[in-house]
Amino acid sequence: MPDQIPEQIASMAALAPKADVQDYKYPPKPLAKRDADIRVTYTGVCATDLHMIDDDWGLSRYPLVPGHEVVGHVIAVGSSVENLSVGDVVGLGAQAQACGECEYCKGGIDNFCPNRKFTYFENTVDETGEHVHHGGFSSYLRTDSRFLFKIPAGYHEKYVGPLMCGGLTVAAPLYEYAGQKWDLKGRRVGIVGIGGLGHMAIQFAAKMGAETFAISRSANKMSFCKELGADGFINSSDSEEMAAHAGKFHYLLFCISGGDIDINHYTGLMRPYGTLHFVGIPDKMENFSLMPLLFSRLTLSSSLIGSSNQMHAMLTFAAKNNIKPIIEEFTHKTANKAIQKIREGTIRFRAVLKNDLI
């Protein structure tokens, strides 16, 4: 019998802020002409999922089915879907929809569409109406096919999830800095913070040809970072080491989430016209001052995810260069264990759930 979306989709949902996820069933929305149905195979668990489960940003709605690093197989398509067919392996990231009509969508930066819809923060809209959109802690999803991305053949599905949010988030700013191409030869790039995002960022920067340094307070991560492709390692808690690299960096990508950060600790590493770019959000920025930026004409910037075009480019580049997140595998039913390890900070380095709800 062909696989088809069930009348009730099995999922794991948080029913209240900070609650464990538990079994939850919901009916699929009506099939719109641009929808595709997917059977979820894997979904990654991102730190944002935990913030959303906990309602840290006041955006959460319950029952909340998390998961925005989704991988699945297309099992049906709506009447006007052209880019996908049944059997395709696809990924869905943090953005589930954009209008397709506005200047940003037409200009190739649909991640800034005023009508963008994040995967489970907001309702998606189509000719069948407005519907709650759930995430990849589901066994199946019915979703706008324009935000399903084909996964290059040969790339193992279990590694795809973390690329869909974390991978795009670190790759897009590097790609933009390089002028929308995968070439950073001649640039010295530092990846600050070696965790779920940083360990992917090292691989992207190194494969783009940058002279890539890992910058971390944990000196014991040095050999690991070199295995990932880093040319060098700087222990950021060692002031002599930091001073030895003063004025050498074109670009720093900060992949640290939470905690306090003292920017002045890093500005000394920069060459004139250097860029300090943040993809993780520190809780606080201590002693923030424009003075060091002013004296060296530095740029401070920040971003999350990227556009559809960048997602396609990132997936192709990752597959071609064998860039892979390091994952710990759990299942949908054991999602709470994965969440617990992320909360404790003991996950190495991204959690992935295999769908066992079918």
The stretch near Zn ion (CB under 5 A) out of 46-54, 73-81, 182-190, 280-288 is 46-54
Query: What is the rounded CA–CA span in Å between residue 214 and residue 260?
Result: 19
- The residues in 125-184 that bind Zn ion, with binding defined as CB under 5 A, are 165
Binding mask 268-287 for Zn ion (x = CB under 5 A): --------------------
The stretch near Zn ion (CB under 5 A) out of 96-104, 117-125, 131-139, 192-200 is 96-104
Q: Which residue from 40, 76, 105, 184 is in contact with Zn ion, where contact means CB under 5 A?
A: 105
352 near Zn ion (CB under 5 A): no
Question: Least distance (Å) from Zn ion to the CB of residue 305?
Answer: 8
What's the first-to-final CA gap in the chain, in angstroms? 15
Question: Least distance (Å) from Zn ion to the CB of residue 91?
Answer: 13
Task: Assign 3-class secondary structure to 242-301.
Answer: HHHCCCCEEEEEECCCCCEEECHHHHCCEEEEEEEEECCCCCEEECCCCHHHHHHCCEEE
The stretch near Zn ion (CB under 5 A) out of 40-48, 54-62, 212-220, 331-339 is 40-48
Question: Least distance (Å) from Zn ion to the CB of residue 104?
Answer: 5
Closer CB to Zn ion, 95 or 212, in the complex: 95
Question: Least distance (Å) from Zn ion to the CB of residue 145?
Answer: 16
98 near Zn ion (CB under 5 A): yes
70 near Zn ion (CB under 5 A): no
304 near Zn ion (CB under 5 A): no
Closer CB to Zn ion, 96 or 263, in the complex: 96
347 near Zn ion (CB under 5 A): no
Which residues have C-beta within 8 Å of that of residue 240, sequence separation ≥ 6?
none
Q: Which residue from 13, 21, 46, 191 is in contact with Zn ion, where contact means CB under 5 A?
A: 46
Question: Least distance (Å) from Zn ion to the CB of residue 49?
Answer: 7
197 near Zn ion (CB under 5 A): no
Question: Least distance (Å) from Zn ion to the CB of residue 81?
Answer: 19
102 near Zn ion (CB under 5 A): yes
Q: Which residue from 48, 138, 236, 308 is in contact with Zn ion, where contact means CB under 5 A?
A: 48
Task: Assign 3-class secondary structure to the chain.
Answer: CCCCCCCCEEEEEECCCCCCEEEEEECCCCCCCCEEEEEEEEEEECHHHHHHHHCCCCCCCCCECCCCCEEEEEEEECCCCCCCCCCCEEEECCEEECCCCCHHHHCCCHHHCCCCEECCCCEEEECCEEEECCCCCECEEEEEHHHCEECCCCCCHHHHHHHHHHHHHHHHHHHHHCCCCCCCCCCEEEEECCCCCHHHHHHHHHHCCCEEEEEECCHHHHHHHHHHCCCEEEECCCHHHHHHCCCCEEEEEECCCCCEEECHHHHCCEEEEEEEEECCCCCEEECCCCHHHHHHCCEEEECCCCCHHHHHHHHHHHHHCCCCCCEEEEECCCHHHHHHHHHHCCCCCEEEEECCCC
Question: Least distance (Å) from Zn ion to the CB of residue 6?
Answer: 27
Closer CB to Zn ion, 46 or 205, in the complex: 46
113 near Zn ion (CB under 5 A): yes
Closer CB to Zn ion, 164 or 225, in the complex: 164
Contact 20/64 with Cβ under 8 angstroms?
A: no
Closer CB to Zn ion, 188 or 324, in the complex: 324
Closer CB to Zn ion, 45 or 84, in the complex: 45
* Count of positions on this chain that bind Zn ion (CB under 5 A): 8
Q: Where does this chain bind Zn ion (CB under 5 A)?
A: 46, 48, 98-99, 102, 105, 113, 165
